[in-house]
Structure 1
């Protein structure tokens, strides 16, 4: 068996394109001691081309064809690859399908009941690993958090003075204007009109008005960031130099 050696650096950055479309994928970094067979397996994951049927063509940065990586046992570094060059993946299987018309071929569809009985589906994988909607512990935890958030929100008194303290903004003083569910925002919210233009809106959210105030004087915040109390409105000293 012939031996293949790495010609240059241990890794190479290459552009990837396919015969399926004219889009060039993001640049990928590969070790040069990777065999062409192993390279095809990696390319199969990002291009959808079959590793057994694909052909890999090598192009320079100027789109000049260098050759074909056709020896599955050879290492990538045994070919004249360099940073910035492009691997063009030609999939014979895809090309054949593109020449055929499958519009009139009956499509196989599964009913929800049949799909539920299969063991090799994404749904079964999520159930087995307790992911997303199939993680009962996380669902219960989320429900408890939402219930607590709603309880705190309901203690807010409309018309009360308040102080809003959050990590993403300075402490602000204002008046509670509304509370509850706001448009398509998740959870429960408190609408506050600030004494100064330190807000983000004018009392509207996604085209729906919840209270009246000037632009940039209103905001919707979480109840945990709101403290009700006797917070008098600060008087501006008009004689103070700015």
Structure 2
């Protein structure tokens, strides 16, 4: 079975359910590739031969994001900051002290805006709900930022990828796939650079925390 036939064999409802589930579980606090799933589904919707609807993709992602974040908020409010200590011990690559400190720093700096803009930042996307609950953020304000952020992120991403995919499909009828591969490579490099910058910030926070902890331990009582 070739790729074209495989894509046609996937029911649109299955695409919407998978998008909503993956985005929802990621928003709950589990590090899953929600954004990649959204972009892939939106790209499928731009293919005129497939029955996947971009509105359905966006709505599924919005619902998943709102529900996932709300469940994550409830979990964070129930268990508080000790929850992140336990998660850090089991999943240090995603919930290590540096990750938590950076997310908490951004929350303290941006306040409720961290929930809105967190939808666009990989690190905050998995921390926003649980951390907002652990920090006892007012739920109505959290919900407003959660819903508006989900609509802008899911709707904006879907629309951007959908129209870009349609333009690329027409454009590639006249040109080669080389330009598309170059565009994908540029996007990948940008994502890697952003990830490296985040890693450096986390490393700096961990080093600063270790230095303060060491100083506190050596101070005379």
Interval of TM-score (by shorter of Structure 1 and Structure 2): under 0.3
- Bigger relative CO (Cα 8 Å, ≥ 6 apart): 2
Which protein is bigger by CA-based radius of gyration?
1
Which is richer in helix? 2
Structure having the larger proportion of residues in strand: 1
Question: Scaled by the length of structure 1, what TM-score is found?
Answer: 0.21
